[in-house]
Structure 1
Amino acid sequence: MPTYVYICDETGEEFEYIQGINSDALEYWPEDVNGFDANKPKKVRRKIGSGIGVMLKGTGFYETDYVKKSGSPENKD
């Protein structure tokens, strides 16, 4: 399951939360995350584009696939 980063609208505090990919975004700070205050619910929003990383591992990936080739002619116009 993906990990999403949320930010508090009021304080700017951030936390990570594991949710299913089809789950709706949280609206308020969840009870099971440090910083929850039952007397004062904090409105949160999901940060877009954070937490994305790609690592190519295993067979089938070659070190020359995405490397700029040296010695290739340059355009000298």
Structure 2
Amino acid sequence: MKIIGISLLMMGCLMGFSLGIDILQGFDISQALYNAISPFRVMEIAELFVLFFLVFLFFTESVYLFIKQRKGNEGQK
């Protein structure tokens, strides 16, 4: 779960940094948000499938490791 938390924290910080730079450049908030998600708007279906598949594998592995670690700790009690 630490890996997921760190990844989400890093994503949030980087998106906030990107939005902050766009706002400092004079864009309004809606245009800054559009700029943040525009790379995903030009992706083809196959690229989106690969992206979501890799994200799914990342979360699945993290949850599996969390459950495995939790069951290992229960056996030691």
TM-score (norm 2): 0.25
Question: Which has the larger share of helix?
Answer: 2
Q: More relative contact order in 1 or in 2 (CA 8 Å, sep 6+)?
A: 2
Question: Which has the larger share of strand?
Answer: 1
Structure with the greater alpha carbon radius of gyration = 1
